[in-house]
Structure 1
Amino acid sequence: MKFARLGATGLYVSRIALGTMSFGGAGNPRWEAIGALDESAADRLLGTALDRGVNLVDTADMYAGGESEELLGKILGTRRDDVVLATKLAARMGPGPNQAGLSRHWLTKALDDSLRRLRTDHVDLYQIHTIDPVTPIEETLRALDDAVRQGKIRYVGASNLAAWQLMKALGTSDRLGLHRFQASQSYYSLVGRDIEAELIPLLTEEQVGLLVWSPLAGGFLSGKFDRDGTTDSGARRAQFSNPPVDLEQGYDVVDALRKVAARHDATVAQIALAWLLAQPAVTSVIVGAKRPEQLEANLDAVDVTLTPEDLLELDEVSRKPAPYPAWIHSAIDTWRYPA
């Protein structure tokens, strides 16, 4: 395994992380499609990841209604100190008016609930899962900072924020002397490159780590899908299409991935993951799995080195036109300097 520094901290995390959305949820159609692994299956998956050097394990309170955290806490046991444990909050966890969001009231309760389910006294990376349009960001950041000072959190992060929202949070933290977000957990893939326009330049400038979720676009880049349909009707992507994909361009990307994969004697999924690992802003790529052999194959992506020609081929087939104002900014050198 290879490792990278998380944001501006001294903490190092594995370039590939284990996502635990597939843990728990039996009997619920949504979680059944994702995995609904029981304790024994989850333990095998975790063991596979740790044996391969993975040290970052990511979950969230909402995964299977808290069952993912419960299973993870149970199976970690004495291996707790071997991992950088990350979880998230914001999603609704009950019917009450204050059982969701990012208020001080709910954040304090949600963190304690996660610690109990995870059977630990601290979370290494505590992330807000999305925005809360009604809670001032200052309230959320102060509550997170208090929890860091109490020893319940080591580092704080954000997920699914727009660039302006993340920058507002970073600016507020700097102004008030609060712990700042050290990581952004965001969707990024060869068929989902939206964050390149605004978010990635911000992360680079502000030294915030990038943790990638759904690097295979919900399975679209697994090698099981092409213009002829799917080779696995039980795959998650065959049951619900998330994240959204421009199918015409997406199939072109899959075609290109197959060509590159053949040159490297690799799988389509491994090449899609290797492309992400080659992007300078990416700290770690979060992969989930239902079976140890599936996880093993994805972990092998860390050892795939793409050539400049491979990267150019994949970039050209997956790139979208630059949005405004990026296309103006790209021409700025011609304005500043004489020919």
Structure 2
Amino acid sequence: MRKIPLGMTDTMITDYCLGTMTWGTHTPEAEAHRQMDMALDAGITIVDTAEMYPVNPVTPETVGLTETVLGNWNAANPGRRDAYVLATKITGKNAAFVRQGQDITPETFTAALDASLARLKTDMIDIYQLHWPNRGSYHFRQNWGFNPAAQNRAATLENMHEVLEAAQEAVKAGKIRHFALSNESAWGTAQWLQLAKAHSLPRVQSIQNEYSLLCRHYDTDLAELAVNEQVTLLAYSPLAAGLLTGKYQNGALPDGSRMALNGDLGGRKTPRVFDAVAAYLELATAHGLDPIHMALAFSVQRPFPVSTIFGATTCDQLAHILTGLDVTLTHDQLAEIDKIHKAHPMPF
């Protein structure tokens, strides 16, 4: 592992980040706490969560439970809170059972932040992210078209300005350290950056978007923005919801797996995806690489600033991931990956 700066700040984070979205349901609290210990002991310095977690599925009854589990670890380990950078997210209107599906506004921003601080049992959140834009997102398999009717530039910019002002108040109050986005577009991120600069408000330091061997939408417009504006990608689903492990090949459906729980892996299960996975698995085998380690190493070696979020349902899964965090792919291996990508573009 290596450490990289978060955006334009002096906050340093590891290029791997511990994800927590199964904590409290599929991962019991005791096991989640053990995962925290394992990750920090391995040198991980950033942990990501969200107010709507756990997922698979998200339910009204479990919203906030993952933050509560992490908060209980914080309370039990007061001397270790400063050992990691804490990132969480405010939910937008797509989750109808969180604040009745309201937009992210200055009022909901502040209310959600205070609730997260209480559940997390901490005084400060290091990276506070908007889980998705009010106007909608091209993530979650919504990248196949564009509807200009959904756009209202003036209203969008006014809301952004107001939310940044709320973020500024939170920074002044010592509740958050850095402002960030998730599931955003290049245009949206650019507007947040422009408004922050024009009005001396908190700038975007990171953007949490999906990125993997099978999902490389970030590689062009957003990557260019990230490099030139120094915005760090927090890459989620680097194993494509488990597809890149190979465990679903040839019709396999392991008991208790994510596919067994939600069927199509959030739209990632398509007629094309298994041939793409097979090609990457063959490449890993040919080079004596573990496919999980190869997929994660690919993500952190991209030519833009990135910290890759990995999660594990069990401690055994986490232990396996941790053994491969120093794997580095060669130039030739990366070139072969690009050939496969061109042969199997956008498999979901």
2:106 to 104, 107, 127: 104
The aligned amino acid for 1:119 is K
Counterpart residue identity of residue 87, structure 1? T
Equivalent residue for 1:123?
125
In the TM superposition, 1:221-236 aligns within 5 A as: 221-226=244-249, 228-230=250-252, 232-236=254-258
Tell me the SS of whatever aligns to 2:241.
coil
Q: Any conservation in 2 of the 1:2–1:302 contact (CA below 8 Å)?
A: no
Q: Which residue of 2 aligns with 1:216?
A: 239
2:34 alignment counterpart: 44
Uncovered stretches (5+) of structure 1, i.e. residues with no partner: 26-34, 324-339
Deviates more, 1:87-96 or 1:228-237: 87-96
Q: CA deviation at 1:197?
A: 2.8
Distance in 2 separating the partners of 1:248 and 1:293: 31
Distance 1:266 1:117, change over 3 A: same
Which sections of structure 2, spanning at least 5 residues, go unmatched? 55-62, 136-154
TM value normalised by structure 1 = 0.85
Is the Cα contact below 8 Å between 1:7 and 1:209 reproduced in 2? yes
Query: Structure 2 residue aligned with 1:63, among 53, 62, 69?
Result: 53
Between the two proteins, the alignment pairs up a number of residues equal to 311
Verify: 1:87 aligned to 2:88, yes or no. Answer: yes
Q: Give the TM-score taking structure 2 as reference length.
A: 0.83
Alpha-carbon separation, structure 2, partners of 1:183 and 1:279: 15
Offset of residue 249 of structure 1? 4.6
Over 3 Å counting, the alpha-carbon distance change for 1:100 and 1:69 in structure 2 is farther
Equivalents in 1 of 2:284, 2:99: separation in Å?
Answer: 50
Instruction: Tell me how far apart the structure 1 counterparts of residues 206 and 304 of structure 2 sit (CA, whole Å).
Output: 11
Partner residue, 1:114? 116
Q: Are the aligned partners of 2:280 and 2:340 in contact in 1 as well (CA < 8 Å)?
A: no
Contact 1:18 1:49 in 2 (8 A): yes
SS in 1 for 2:277: helix
CA displacement at 1:105 relative to structure 2: 0.8
Q: Distance in 2 between matches of 1:301 and 1:103?
A: 41
Q: Distance in 1 between matches of 2:98 and 2:45?
A: 35
Alignment match, 1:75: 73
Question: What code does the residue aligned with 1:85 have?
Answer: L
* Aligned-pair CA distance for 1:94: 4.7
Residue 30 of structure 1 is matched in structure 2 by none
- Alignment counterpart, residue 317 of structure 2, candidates 294, 299, 311: 294
Q: Cα deviations across residues 12-44 of structure 1 (Å, max 9, x unaligned)?
A: 11111111101114xxxxxxxxx2x22211111
**Deviation of the 1:205 alpha carbon:** 1.3
Assess, with a 3 A threshold, how the Cα gap between structure 1 residues 320 and 166 changes in structure 2: closer, same or farther. farther
1:139 to 162, 174, 181: 162
User: Could you give the per-residue CA deviations for residues 253-284 of structure 1, whole angstroms, max 9, x where no partner exists?
Assistant: 32333233234533211111111111121421
1:11 maps to 11
Deviations 1:133-176 (A, max 9, x none): 37611111111111111111011110001110111111111111
